[in-house]
Amino acid sequence: MSVEVNLAIIEEKINEVCAKINRDRKNINMIAVTKYVTVERVEEAIQAGITHFGENRDQGFNDKWEQIGAKVTWHFIGTLQTRKVKNIINKVDYIHSLDRLSLAEEIQKRATKQIKCFIQVNTSGEGSKHGMSPDEVIPFINQIKDFSNVFIVGLMTMAPHTDDVSIIRSCFQKLKELQQQVQALSLAYAPCKDLSMGMSNDYEIAIEEGATYLRIGSSLVGNEQ
Ligand SMILES: *Cc1c(COP(=O)(O)O)cnc(C)c1O
């Protein structure tokens, strides 16, 4: 299916949810996750009007970056090894996977400007999911107060892959509650106004629970090379 057709289907669903819960569509950004697809598919998505793109590996990101460059907004959404920070930093616009102090230290060291970061939170408690536990978030934010290059725009989570909507919803609600706690601190370096949550199979629930960045791969650009 063309990106244009997929996008129209997704847009219709987003608009339906927004109408139902009275949210403004303008406050929801859609990131096309292109980790499974070719640069040609990225070009097609650009033609379809998509401006935010997400990659989860340094190599995959750089392959796309070399051909597409800074004409779109790039989001790094994958687990980031400390030694790979230098390969992506100052090229990506957002990092969604800040999950430990050593990574913040490396970003601080390598960045030549303030880097917009989401703290990745493990809201499901599943061992296999990356991200810090919810109670580590505020202590972590306090620890990075002097990191002038690390700017906390929001929180990110991945819900478990399950058909149980209540489990998914409770993950997203946990992230929202945590966001409110961070916002109550009123920190200039951590306004935490955004929530990165919702993928192909759960973005409608994420919108209902306050997502401002959706990360959509398979159902938008596909998942085959
Ligand atoms: C792959 C990926 C997505 C997109 O997943 P789909 O189910 O294909 O929409 C979103 N977020 C992260 C962190 C990913 O790795």
Tens-digit pLDDT profile for residues 78-103: 999 999 999 999 999 999 999 999 99
Pocket flag, ligand 1, residue 205 (CB < 6 Å): no
Q: Which residue has the higher pLDDT, 38 or 225?
A: 38
Query: 214-218 — which CB contacts under 8 Å span 24+ positions?
Result: 214/14, 214/28, 214/29, 214/30, 214/31, 215/31, 215/33, 215/54, 215/75, 215/77, 215/96, 216/10, 216/30, 216/31, 216/32, 216/33, 217/32, 217/33, 217/34, 217/35, 217/36, 217/54, 218/36
Lowest average pLDDT, out of 124-133, 164-173, 208-217, goes to: 124-133
Q: Is the pLDDT of residue 121 over 60?
A: yes
Question: What is the per-residue burial (b if ≥16 Cβ within 10 Å, else e) of 75-106?
Answer: bbbbebeeebbebbbeebebbbbbbbeebbbb
The pLDDT, as a whole number, for residue 126 is 83
Confidence of residue 222 (pLDDT cuts 50, 70, 90): very high
Q: Coil, helix or strand for 120?
A: strand
118-127, 145-154, 181-190: range with lowest mean pLDDT: 118-127
In whole angstroms, give the CA distance from residue 118 to residue 5. Answer: 30
Distance, in Å, from the CA atom of 222 to the CA atom of 199, rounded to the nearest integer, reads 13
User: How would residue 223 be classed by pLDDT, with cut points 50, 70 and 90?
Assistant: confident
Tell me the best of 77, 79, 224, 225 to mutate to test the pocket of ligand 1, counting ligand atoms within 8 Å of each CB and taking the most.
77
Measure the CA dihedral 8/14/19/24, to 10°. -110
Q: How far apart are CA 126 and CA 152, in angstroms?
A: 24
Tell me, what's the pLDDT at 12?
Answer: 98
From the CB of 32, is ligand 1 less than 6 Å away? no
- Ligand 1 pocket, residue 157 CB under 6 Å: no
pLDDT beyond 60 at 177: yes
79 lines ligand 1 (CB under 6 A): no
CA-closest candidate to residue 159, choices 174, 148, 147, 138: 174
Distance 154 CA to ligand 1 centre (A): 18
Q: Is the CB of 217 under 6 A from ligand 1?
A: yes
Measured CA to CA, the distance from residue 148 to residue 122 in angstroms comes to 25
CB of 35 shorter than 6 A to ligand 1: yes
User: What pLDDT is stored for residue 225 in this prediction?
Assistant: 52
Q: Is the CB of 199 under 6 A from ligand 1?
A: yes
CB of 131 shorter than 6 A to ligand 1? no
> Which of 199, 203, 205 to probe ligand 1 with, by most ligand atoms within 8 A of CB?
199
Does pLDDT of 112 surpass 90?
Answer: yes
